[in-house]
Structure 1
């Protein structure tokens, strides 16, 4: 079921068995700050940035007003704790495509939260927004994430050789995508 949405202005709440995805706000910064500044999370996501609380509060305070992206907090249903974020970004309206990224607290890995969060937000991209393609990049030193993306339906498309310079070493990134027909959606 697709909506006649022309942009990402509507910020839904998506519920699964393990997680709820809801619009992220500046009130989520205390939970997200340690995740985003975790050195291993930085490495796995290729982020060279270190985030300050004031800058993050300013960033997340504006997410609800963005018509070209969807930033959702990942909330573990069993505890009510914000454990990360899931984002649809780099919207390419003429080609009905967008990027996807997810970042979760290291203590949640291996419990299925990321797989469910990915399925929920990608399902929304196809069923709620009527998109045709959702893509992402995953670094070669993050095989766990690649397996999770494959479980959610993503397929490898190609390799961006040496895409990331991390601590003096070049790291490849694999571009992966899932398209509406693979999700069981028949494009209009």
Structure 2
């Protein structure tokens, strides 16, 4: 049985190069800037441009949501905002949740920071929340993210054909998931 109180706690999780902290209004500027980055928008499939006020309100309300966990990714030792991640769509009956991560700029990719952040949140999801399964969608062209997910134990479970229309081209999305035992095996 999962522990829903672990979603209400809004923990700080620290690794070697990243710290995950509760997403709050203080992260609005960095989060807003990421919504303006064209490559970040393409990788996340976000067509809509959010106003500063919408982003500010969204960031400010994340701590009050007892049904999900939204954390900011902070680079160590600089303290720079790198992006955000979340566990949401929590299904207590089936002990599963969705995972989402978005780095705020391409400068943060390719250095293992997303992998470290993913491992930190998955450890929390399986150890503290006591989930059995964590799943995600990723666009098939995002090979770097797919490699990170595979390194953390995720496996492809399905394909959503033509799920994204971007600049006149259609792209598939992959459904990937990791079970607790697969994550533990990947961490050995």
Give TM-score, length-normalised by structure 2: 0.93
Q: 4+ runs of 1 displaced by more than 4 Å? A: none
Asked if the contact 2:99/2:135 (under 8 Å) is kept, the reply is: yes
After superposition, where does 1:10-89 map in structure 2 within 5 Å? 10-89=9-88
Q: In 2, distance between residues paired with 1:163 and 1:173?
A: 6
1:83-122 superposed matches below 5 A:
83-104=82-103, 105-122=105-122
Q: Which runs of 5+ in 2 are unaligned?
A: none
8 A contact 1:100–1:135 mirrored in 2: yes
Q: Distance in 2 between matches of 1:6 and 1:62?
A: 18
Q: For 2:178, what is the secondary structure of its paired residue? A: strand
Correspondence for 2:165: 165
Q: What is the rounded CA distance, in whole Å, between the counterparts of 2:85 and 2:69 in structure 1?
A: 8
Partner Cα separation in structure 2 for residue 43 and residue 183 of structure 1: 28
Q: CA separation in 1, counterparts of 2:134 and 2:183?
A: 11
Distance 2:20 2:64 in 1: 17
Give the secondary-structure state (helix, strand or coil) at the position aligned to 1:51. Answer: coil
> CA deviation digits over 1:18-44, x for unaligned, max 9?
100010101111112111221111111
Kindly state the Cα deviation for residue 8 of structure 1 after the two structures are TM-superposed.
1.7
Deviates more, 1:163-172 or 1:45-54: 163-172
Deviation of residue 111 (structure 1)?
A: 0.9
CA deviations over 1:131-171 (Å, ceiling 9, x no partner):
00000111012111111111121111111111112223221
Instruction: Mark the CA change 1:183 to 1:141 in structure 2 (over 3 Å): closer, same or farther.
Output: closer
3-state SS in 2 of match to 1:116: helix
Q: Secondary structure at the match of 1:94?
A: coil
Q: Is the 8 A contact 1:153 1:183 kept in 2?
A: yes
Report which stretch shifted further, 67-76 or 6-15.
6-15
TM-score normalised according to structure 1 size: 0.93
What secondary structure, in the 3-state scheme, does the structure 1 residue paired with 2:77 have? coil
RMSD: 1.6
Aligned residues: 184
Inter-partner Cα distance in structure 2 for 1:184 and 1:172: 29
1:8 aligned partner: 7
For structure 1, list consecutive stretches of 5 or more residues without a partner in the other structure.
none
The answer for the alignment partner of 2:149 in structure 1 is: 149
Deviation, structure 1 residue 7: 6.1
